[in-house]
Structures are given as structure tokens and as C-alpha cells.
Structure 1
Amino acid sequence: MPAFRPLPASEEAPATHVRTRTPTVFRAAAATWPAVKDWSFPYLASLDPGLPVQLVAGNRETETTRFTTSTLGSYVGRLTRDAPPDDVISYLKEFDLLKKFPQLRADLRSSELFPSGTIRSSATWIGPSHARTGLHCDLLDNLAVQIMGTKRFYLAHPAAVKQAGMGSRKYDAWARLSLISAEELAAGQEHGDFFVADLEPGDVLYVPAYWWHEVVNLTPGVLLSGFFGPRTRVLSRWAWVQARESLHRAGLLGRGNCTCHDHRGSEAGRSPGGA
């Protein structure tokens, strides 16, 4: 059984620590946010019960990409009832909650976390127990805030997947994927940077760009990701991603093997990263 070391926690302000570019957890750094104290699944479901939502079925990072559809009220309203582990888990990933419901911004204190002068992009991951995002690394730094529930992150050094020869050719606009899980990657490794962190409501996790991570919900939960970076870095990365995305949409890159289309070719909106 691979040994994952507990990820160190920091007492620094996140905006100060990110300069070190080392992953860390900030315990209870967002515990006073109204979202952490007041949000509930019934409340989120009530915001627009009939809003159509697209759900990821299973682990699209290592399996065939599949989507299902539901409504916000139906999906979020049933999250307090855990699905059996052998069911295909449906996951509301990379959902732009704050764009759909801008009034929710008043319940956040995101400006407390980020260095000044950075460009930021946020998305939410809403799902049941056992919902999983396979091992991947993002192209931008991420400050992830656990709003509800408990989530486990497995992390591995940026060089770990390449050294194992397990990089995937599956296309994802804002991430790179692994062919194997975090536990498979760490198996048999006596040394190496392999960490684990369990996030409770109000905890904040810093994942630097290119650090590999796999994420699983231990309970039904809501996580808010905040991808960020200096303006020049983000804009240059965005231009590079858009160039590759044009090739992908033309069928010249990642055709039939991507995270943004299911087996019928239907398209899903993508935002930076995954959690």
C-alpha cells in the first residue's frame, strides 16, 4: 500500500505562501465565509430548480468521457442521499455557479486569498460521496476552498507521471492527464513527493500549476476552485490554450479522445482545471 505523507499546513496567509510554489493546506482559512456557514444543498437547489445542468458520468480522466443531464434542483436536492458505490457516479464539475447566480459572490471573501494583481477564474465542483476527478495536473495555480462536505486530495510531484511513463494523450484544454491513479503511481515507491490532504468546510488548499492531484469526495460536497496567476502568465497561457482548442474543434487534435465530448460528440463547456 503506497504511503502518502500528510500535506503540511501553513499559518501564513495564502497570498503570501503561494510565492513558495509548494502545495499546502490552510486550515479554516475560509471558515468565517458566509458560504461556509450558511450554504446547504436545499438552498443551492432552490436557486433555480429547473436550470438544466450537464453532469460527468464516472471518471472521465481515465475512462470514456460520458455525460448525462439533469436539473439543478433534481441533482443537488438529492445529494444528501448517498448513491451505492457500484452505481455510476454523476458529478457536476466545473460549474460556473457565480456566473449563474452572481448574488452568491456576497457570501465569499475570495479577495482575502489571492495575491494582488492576479487574474482569477472560479468554478465549482458539486457531487456525492465517491465522486472522483482522476489524476491530472492543471496549467494554472489553484486555491481551492472547501465550502461543504469533506474531500480528499492525493498529490504527486510534477515529474512523477513523466518519470513513470504514464502520461495520457487524452485531450483536455486546461490540464494534463495520467493513465493511472495516484495510488498506482505511488505503489512501490520508497521515496518521492506523495501527499494526501482531507479538506473540511472552510479549509483552503494551494495546488501549484503542474502538481499532479487526484480528488475524491468522502461525503457529498461543494468545492470552489480559484485558478490564478500574474496577468502576463495567464494571458500567454490562455492564448496557447485557445490555439490548441482551435485545432481540437477542427478535429486535428484529440479527436475522439478528449474530456469535452462524449461518445456521441456532444460538447461540454470547459474551464481551467479540475477538482
Structure 2
Amino acid sequence: MPMFRPLPASEEAPALHVRTRTPTVFRAAAATWPAVKDWSFPYLASLDPGLPVQLVAGNRETARTRFTSSTLGSYIGSLTRDAPSDDAPAYLKEFDLLKKFPQLRADLRSRELFPSGTIRSSATWIGPSRARTGLHCDLLDNLAVQIMGTKRFYLAGPGAVKRAGKESGKYDAWARLSLVGAEELAAGQEHGGFFVVDLEPGDVLYVPAYWWHEVVNLTPGVLLSGFFGPRTRVLSRWAWVQARECLHRAGLLGRGDCTCHDHSDSGAGRRSPGSA
């Protein structure tokens, strides 16, 4: 069995710790947020039950990309029932909850977490137990807040996937992908650098850019990710991503092998930037 060390925890303020560029968990750092104390699946489902949502079926990072459609009320309502029995549970990924429902911003205290002067972009991951995001690394730093449920992160240092020769050529606008999962990557590795951490409601996790991570829901849950960085870094990265996106949309980069188009037998879909 591969050995994953427990990820270190810190009592330092996240805004100060991010200067170290090391992944860390901040236990209960958001425990007093109204979102953590008051949100529930019935409440979120009631915000706009008929709102159409696009769901990711299974693990698109290491398998083919497939989408399915539902409504917010129907999908979130299903999370209160028994866990899905199939191996490809539907996952509401990168959902811009705060854009759809700006009144929810009052339930967050995000400014407490981020360094001053940074640009931030948030998204939510809402899904059942066993929903998974395959091993990947993001192009921006991330402060992830567990709002509901329990989620497990496996982490590996920058360069771990490249050293193993397991980098994927699959196109993703804001992330790099691995051909294998975290456990397979770590199997037989003699060097360290592999970590695991379980997030409970109110916990905050700092994942620096280019740190590889695979994420699995241990229970139905809601996670809020905040990708961020200094203005110059974010804007230069955004310009680079947009240039690649133009090539992708023209069919010149990642055609037929991407995370943003449905590669099942039916339909086509798009995804928004960001991955976690």
C-alpha cells in the first residue's frame, strides 16, 4: 500500500501562511461562517429548484468526459437519499453558486482568508459520496473551504507526475492532468512527498499552484474553492489561458480529448475554468 503522510495543520492565519507555498490544513478556520452553520441541502435546493445544471458523470480527469443534465432542486434533493450505486456518480463541479445567488455572499467571510491585493475566483463542488475529481494540479493557488460533509484530499508535490512519466495530454484550461490516480502514483515510490487529509465542515485547505491533488467525497458535501494570486500573476496567467482556449475552440488544441466537451455518444458540453 502506498504511504500517505497526514498533512500538517497550522494555527497561523491562512493569509500569512500562503507565503510559505506549502500545503496546509487550517482546522475550523471557517467554523463560525453562517454558511457552515446554517446551509443544508434542502435550503440550497430551494433557491431555484428549476434551474438547469450540467453535471459531470464520473472521473473526467482520467476517463472520457461525459455530461448529464438535471435541475438544481432535483439534483441536490437526490443527495439526501442513499448514495448512488454506479461507479460514475454525477457531480456538480465548478458551479458558480455565488453568481447565481449573490445573496449567499453574506454567509461567507472570505476576506478573512485571503492576502490583501489578490484577485480571487470562487466556485463550488456539490456532490454525493464517492464523487471524485481525478489527480490534477491547478495553475493558481487555492484556498478550499469545506462547507458541508467530509472530503478527502490526496496530495503529491510538484513534479511527482512528470517524474513518473504519467502526465496526461488531455486538455484542461486551468489545470494539468495525470494519467493515473494518487494511489497508483504513490505505489512503489521510495521518496516522500505524498500526503492525505480529510476535511470536515469549517476546515480550510491551502493547495499551492502546481501541487497535485486528487479529491473524493466521503459523504455528500459542498466545498467552496477560492483560486487566487497577485494581480500581475493572475492576469498574465489568464491571458495565457485565453490564448490556448482560442486554439482549443478552433479545434487546433486538444480536439476530441478535453475536459470541456462531452465525449460520450450524445450531446456536447462546456465547462468553466478552474479545477479542484
The TM-score bracket by the shorter chain reads over 0.9
Deviation per residue, 1:200-229 (Å, 9 max, x gap): 000000000000000000000000000000
Q: What's the counterpart of residue 3 of structure 1?
A: 3
Q: Distance in 2 between matches of 1:40 and 1:211?
A: 31
> Could you tell me which residue of structure 1 aligns to residue 102 of structure 2?
102
Separation of aligned partners in 2, 1:76 and 1:157: 34
Is 1:77 the equivalent of 2:83?
A: no
Q: In 1, Cα distance between the equivalents of 2:174 and 2:237?
A: 9
Aligned-residue RMSD, C-alpha: 0.9
Q: How does 1:259-270 map to 2 (within 5 A)?
A: 259-263=259-263, 264=266, 266-270=268-272
* Residues 154-193 of structure 1: pairs in structure 2 closer than 5 A: 154-193=154-193
Distance in structure 1 (CA, Å) of the matches to 2:10 and 2:84: 36
**1:265: Cα distance to partner?**
6.1
1:51 aligns with 2:48: no
Aligned to 2:60, what secondary structure does the other structure show?
A: coil
Count residues with an aligned counterpart.
274
SS of aligned partner of 1:255: coil
- How far residue 87 of structure 1 moved from its aligned partner, in angstroms, is 4.3
Alpha-carbon contact 1:85-1:130 (below 8 Å) kept? no
Matching residue's letter, 1:234: V
- The normalised TM-score by structure 1 is 0.98
Separation of aligned partners in 2, 1:139 and 1:185 = 20
One-letter identity of the residue aligned with 1:132: R
Percent identity of the aligned residues? 87
2-structure distance, mates of 1:85, 1:188: 31
Moved over 6 A (4+): none
- Structure 1 segment 91-170 matched on structure 2, within 5 A: 91-170=91-170
- Aligned residue type for 2:163: Q
For 1:194, give the aligned amino acid: F
Deviation string 1:112-159 (CA, Å, 9 cap, x unpaired) is 000000000000000000000000000000000000000000000011
What is the deviation of 1:17?
0.1
Partner of 1:273: 275
Q: Structure 1 stretches of 5 or more lacking a match?
A: none
Alpha-carbon separation, structure 2, partners of 1:119 and 1:84: 37
Q: CA deviation at 1:238?
A: 0.1
Q: Structure 2-normalised TM-score? A: 0.98
AA partner of residue 108 (structure 2): L
C-alpha distance in 2 between matches for 1:132 and 1:87: 10
SS in 1 for 2:17: helix
In structure 2, C-alpha distance between the alignment counterparts of 1:183 and 1:132, rounded to whole Å = 14
Q: Which residue of 2 aligns with 1:34?
A: 34
What's the offset of the Cα at 1:191? 1.8
Paired residue secondary structure (1:268): coil
Which stretch of structure 1 is more off in the superposition, 92-101 or 72-81?
72-81
Post-superposition offset of 1:267: 2.6
Pairwise CA distance, 1:270? 1.2
